[in-house]
Amino acid sequence: MKNSTLISRILSSIFFKRASDGAARYARNTRSLYDLIREAIDKSGGLSGANFTAFREQLGVVTRLLKAYASGEYRQLPWKTLLRVIAVLIYFVSPIDILPDFLPIVGLTDDIALMFWLFNGIKEDIEKFREWEYTATNPRQESSRPVETIKIG
């Protein structure tokens, strides 16, 4: 099965529709959003191997983005993108979906494919967040700026 076919099946499934319907509630409830983030991080912790390094790194950025949004520190994320991220995470953490997670090996295929679809679809928003995050954690220090000298007379 092609990846695009799998993504189409996921996006049109009742499981993703339920996740999408619940996304706005999570976006408006900080506690629920933090719980969802924790569940996604916990689930990804069980994924091991070199192939999952990029996945875990991207998931880390997305969860930091959601935490910054939930705390009110970062609000430059479009509402539509926020809902898409939350819907995908709801789907990701749900054990019952198109390919139930309890099925050995193939059970996570749909979850991971959908997450990569998300990462690719919100690249620009992720980059904007990373720039903001870098600036927020590395503010310019006044003492490191060059001092201008003004000659008088």
Residue 40's contacts (CB-CB under 8 Å, 6 or more residues apart) are 59, 63, 89, 92, 93
Q: Name the residue with higher pLDDT: 137 or 20.
A: 20
8 Å CB contact between 33 and 66: yes
Q: Name the residue with higher pLDDT: 37 or 99.
A: 37
Question: What mean pLDDT value characterizes the chain?
Answer: 88
Share of the chain above pLDDT 70, in %: 90
Q: Name the residue with higher pLDDT: 4 or 6.
A: 6
62, 90, 144 from 127: Cα distances, Å: 11, 23, 26
**pLDDT level of residue 127 (50, 70, 90 thresholds):** very high
* Predicted pLDDT of residue 99: 86
Give me the residue spans of the domains in the chain.
3-144
* Predicted pLDDT of residue 142: 43
* Predicted pLDDT of residue 10: 95
* Predicted pLDDT of residue 141: 45
Query: In this structure, is the dihedral angle defined by the CA atoms of residues 30, 126, 90 and 35, taken in order, positive or negative?
Result: negative
Task: Name the amino acid, one letter, at 121.
Answer: G
Q: What is the pLDDT of residues 39-95, one digit of tens each?
A: 999 998 877 777 788 888 999 999 999 999 999 999 999 999 999 999 999 999 999
Inter-residue long-range contacts of 60-67, CB under 8 Å, 24+ positions, other chains counted: 61/126, 61/129, 61/130, 62/89, 62/118, 62/119, 62/126, 63/37, 64/129, 64/133, 65/125, 65/126, 65/129, 66/33, 66/36, 66/37, 67/34, 67/37
* Predicted pLDDT of residue 45: 86
* Predicted pLDDT of residue 2: 63
| Res 140 pLDDT > 80 | no
Give which of 111, 124, 123, 103 is closest to 7, Cα–Cα: 111
